[in-house]
Amino acid sequence: MTSSSYFRYPHLHGDLVTFVAEDDVWIAPLGGGRAWRVSSLQLPARNPRFTPDGQRLVWTVVQGTAPEVVSAAVDGGDYRQLTYFGHGTTKVKGFTANGSVVVTSAFRQAEGRHTHAYSVPLDGGWAEELPFGPVESVAFGPEVGDERPVVVGSVLSREPAWWKRYHGGTAGKLWIDNDGNGEFERLLPDLDGNLADPLWVDGRIAFLSDHEGYGNLYSVLPNGKDLRRHTDHEDFYVRHASTDGKRIIFESAGELWVLPGLGSEAARLDITLGSASQSRRPALLNAAKHLGEVVPDAAGSASAVEAHGTISWLRHKDGPSRIIEATPGVRARLPRPLDGGRLAYVADHDGVEALFIKDVAAPVPGAGAPAAADAATPAGRPDAAAAAASRPGHNQGQVPLPQPVPAAAAAVRAAATVMHVPGDDQQADVAPEGAPSPAEAAAGATAQAEENAQAEILRIGFPHATRTSSLEASPDGEWLALGTSFGEVYAANTRTGDLTLVASIGEGTVSDLAWSADSRWLVWSEPVTSFGSRSRLRLAKAADPGAGPVDVTDGRFRDTSPAFTPDGKFLAFLSNRSFDPVYDGHSFDLSFPSPIKPYLVALAADTPSPFGPSVDPDAGEGSAADAERQDHAAAPEVSVDPEGLAHRVIGVPVPQGNYTSLKAADGALLWLDWALAGVTGDGKASQDDKDSRPSLSRFDLARRKQTTLVEALDSFRLSGDRSKVVLISDKKVTVVPSDKKVDEESGDLVKVDLGRIRVMMEPLRVWGQAFDEAWRLQRDFFWAEDMAGQDWESVYKRYRPLVDRLGSHDDLVDLLWELHGELGTSHAYVRPAPVTENGSHGQGRLGADLSLTPAGWEITRILAGESSDPLATSPLTRPGVGARTGDILLAIDGVPLSLSVTPAMQLVGAAGRAVELTLLNGAAHGERAGRQRRVAVVPVKDEERLRYQEWVAGNRRTVREASGGTFGYLHIPDMMANGWAQLHRDLDTETALDGLIVDVRRNRGGHTSQLVAELIGRKVTGWSMPRGEKPRTYPHHAPRGPVIILADEFAGSDGDIITQVSKLRGIGPVIGTRTWGGVVGIDNRFSLADGTGVTQPRYANWFGGGVGWSVENYGVDPDIEVAYPPHAYAAGRDPQLEYGIGALKEMVQELPTDRPPAREGYRLLRPAPLPARRRTEA
């Protein structure tokens, strides 16, 4: 019997089992039956564990902004919070011999992925770090005398089921201390799998591994011999195994299994949940929270609003909303108002995207109309709607609301057959196997065409699977232009349903579609290189696609945001063709941070520049007035002279900048103006300031004057008559005039109340659509068309039925991770919005280490930080605080501290808020020692940057001391803006020394490796020798001596690449361990209807030198392997850095450091004495 729920994180004790379902903790009889709920927080819970005596449970659940360890009696009473770490990595892992909770977390670490193990008393209190270094899990063996062996599992980059068959550097490793003396060695070092969840069971060590291609349960003797497999799961991985020392319980595909003993076979538990599901109950959509596009009608009096895959029609000032598309299990997007009260949008009713055109004021069908889900569910797919409807209580608690007119229920007047695609008369089957192809769907629709001639919905299908990237309606409503992510441009006739292929570039995403005012000409931007570094503009006539596109620009630059001026004379656009560089402020470099300017193209050869001389001096000023008078007149016919079009480009007289989203209004251009700002945000006036947002600028063409209409916003859309602008800012929608700036109190400003949108969302149907779309996105955008040999259709059939058992959005996220894991490829991420409790400010931190002494909570270390890093400053080092090591923290906000009232408890929710500390001066204050004083500080939310900068400073200090001050040290934390900044902080000083260690351990990747490789790979070829100043290398910042590269398993993505490139270019030997092994990149282009990000591995990297494709799912081997065992961490040693220093000492003996030449041997400028003049005899 298959479970009807999705169970996770099981544990067992006696005759009871605990697990997580529907985001809460449950208990059930081990023999099966009805479970009862222990918690009811409706927040993602993890890893519930029975205490050794079976009286209580401990688990983690979000408290404030991060998961914390909590405890409760098995009946749910006596709830306690045990930790106040404030870090997202916190997990329960078991118990120590004395019954304390083993917790892993990175809350005190310089690296947010390095979770360490801590012992936390069951009644709360101080968390004592265990001496293992970074670990994912800990398993204690049976005590033998005074010794207790232990096995630890290494930190994983993600759990094995989320990247199946992973073999890279962070693949799970087991380390064993067999006699409890603190010395570890690898257990099964030659087993090529991802080992996780070690358990001590009956004198053997059980664990999970996929070294045979599938995730199963194995065991081995503590000496590494007698490897056995205990399960034979092939369809789904065995996950989250735990034990009571004799039995093992685990989950697979959301079902629970028990292995009574290592000599037994696993049996599935038959458990049912004993209460009504709250998380599956239909609920009202919060439109503002999930706001997408807001697109106004022609007059700017109403808009189509997209929110969470639904579309509603909403008048701006008042009145109710009208649901246009909210069919459960369907995602609609890209709404576009047409003429005559019609609306176009894209939706995926049948699992394949199609274009729909609907009458906004269409009559609602009678009660006998078929349900949208019934009409849209593909044959052969699990029918989520039917399954949900058949469950008892499915409709209980549902609030009656006006139901949407289901698109699939109405007759289709024109379907996939009503198309004209030049050169392609074939219809491809684009749905998963068993679903109807567009041709089959069209056949049924055509049969009903005459009978349903008056239907209000027009469906237009595509000839093959595609993803609509942009959609724009012509001003007269007769045409729709569609751009796709596969480089296609279509024109759809909104009356007949005919679909015409206008252009196809074969690859890349078509964007920025725009129509001329007379609805005859279509323009778009298409890429001519990968990653959109260059693009061109092209024109075409929708009614005459056979004429072919006309090139407006040639693709030398990045040309975007085309817009026809309303008078039909010009095409305006933005272009990265301004080349006025600026010098870098930290290193010798030039860049183009603001390369964009607006331009006009005169469409007709005889159209003069609006900014040049004219024989009619009043022509320029009259154009704006004429535009106003002709506001309701027929649009002028646009005339295009293709010859010489690219040479009629006219610069708009405004400074270069960072402009986007250009639109043309009457007599003016509008665009977003982004102020030049840093990428990391570290350069803001205050870290409390909001991130930079663009302003809305208006340029008056006649007066040549630029004004700011709106100071800060997220996006905007012009109304069809160009008189109004709909603004989105901080999830709020306002409407303002397009020709003037208005203040908050102006009657011309309309605030749109999104609360009028009332749509019931059915979670199971929403999750089903999300799953289907995530599957399609991988099918359509995974880097290899053959899915690298994976049968993606069969993966769908295997995983899709699990959707009906999900109990929460967190379950969906887990299932999507498992789905993506089947690709066996890096960068297949699922990124949901962070789950937090409403109103929480996060756990406060003081930027210091404290320990409890008889005198109170003593400050044992104040993190030094880094003055150039605004996120690396301890609150205790702020002016006026004057805290010193040895001071005693007596109270916070007047509350005395003790063993049971810890500083962390009193700093809950204090991040970013002022608190009062009562300090007792320690001995470091001299004569003032022993005095109490009160100071105000603002705790920080995160200490990672503080601890990171201290870790870097400590490493640099070690290198200096070991080399007598002659070696430099640089750490690069990532290959993004933060890492680029960190590299340049000390680039000048460190490259000027005799040798250099470049540390890319823990590098999180990014995209700047080619820039970093160029910097650290420079060779000194000359010297600049100024008088009275120190010599400087040519090129600048070239390392003067040999270079060592340190790498480890946490160097990944672009960290893999910099390591591989360093080897290929001979920059220096690589020392450490094999890197992560993930070099198929992503672009973060797509998200699901609820905003959950899903990434598709799209950009595979290949390397020369015989490396080829081998880095992916393997990593880069070091030239010299140096392990970093748990006991080295416990001893405070860094064997990799130590080895690197020793190797560098040897290298400088063989490869002498480049030094400036002596000031000799140069050409002397003083001329020799003038020789005697030669005389000639007369």
List the 488-493 sheet strands across, edge first.
468-473, 479-484, 488-493, 499-504
E strands in 79-127? 80-81, 91-95, 101-105, 116-120
Q: Are the C-beta atoms of residues 909 and 825 closer than 8 Å to each other? A: no
β-bridge partners, 68: 61
Cβ within 8 Å of residue 466, ≥6 positions away: 353, 484, 485, 486, 488, 780
Question: Dihedral angle at the C-alpha atoms of 1035, 1040, 1044, 1049, nearest 10 degrees?
Answer: -40
User: Which string of b and e fits 971-987 if b means at least 16 CB within 10 Å?
Assistant: bbbbbbbbbbbbbbbbb
Q: Are the C-beta atoms of residues 352 and 772 closer than 8 Å to each other? A: no
β-bridge partners, 590: 583
Closest residue by Cα to residue 328 from 375, 279, 268, 362 = 375
Q: Are the C-beta atoms of residues 935 and 881 closer than 8 Å to each other? A: yes
Cβ within 8 Å of residue 722, ≥6 positions away: 566, 664, 665, 666, 738
Distance CA 196, CA 212 (A): 14
Structure letter (DSSP) for residue 65: T
Q: Are the C-beta atoms of residues 1112 and 823 closer than 8 Å to each other? A: no
Q: Are the C-beta atoms of residues 229 and 216 closer than 8 Å to each other? A: yes
Amino acid at 785: E
User: Quick one: tokens of 460?
Assistant: 């237009």
* Continuous H helices in 964-1105: 977-985, 987-991, 1009-1016, 1054-1065
1053 flagged as catalytic:
yes
Structure letter (DSSP) for residue 1081: E
- Choice among 13, 827, 925, 1037 that is catalytic: 827
Closest residue by Cα to residue 39 from 77, 4, 11 = 77
Q: Are the C-beta atoms of residues 1091 and 809 closer than 8 Å to each other? A: no
Structure letter (DSSP) for residue 654: S
Distance CA 559, CA 532 (A): 10
Give the chain's length: 1178
1112 flagged as catalytic:
yes
User: Quick one: tokens of 900?
Assistant: 């049971």
Q: Are the C-beta atoms of residues 674 and 662 closer than 8 Å to each other? A: no
- Choice among 3, 100, 808, 1053 that is catalytic: 1053
620's enclosing H/E stretch is helix 619-629
3-state secondary structure of 1062: helix
1036 flagged as catalytic:
no
Distance CA 710, CA 800 (A): 46
Amino acid at 530: S
Closest residue by Cα to residue 943 from 876, 860, 1006, 896 = 876
Distance CA 736, CA 724 (A): 6
Q: Are the C-beta atoms of residues 980 and 1008 closer than 8 Å to each other? A: yes
3-state secondary structure of 479: strand
Where residue 1038 falls (left for φ over 0; alpha for ψ -120 to 50; beta otherwise) is beta
Q: Residue 1034 phi/psi, 5° resolution? A: -120, 120
User: Quick one: tokens of 113?
Assistant: 């992925």
User: Which string of b and e fits 302-341 if b means at least 16 CB within 10 Å?
Assistant: bbbbbbbbbbbbbbbeeeebbbbbbbbbbbbbbbbbbeee
3-state secondary structure of 904: helix
Structure letter (DSSP) for residue 162: G
Catalytic positions, written as ranges:
827, 1053, 1112
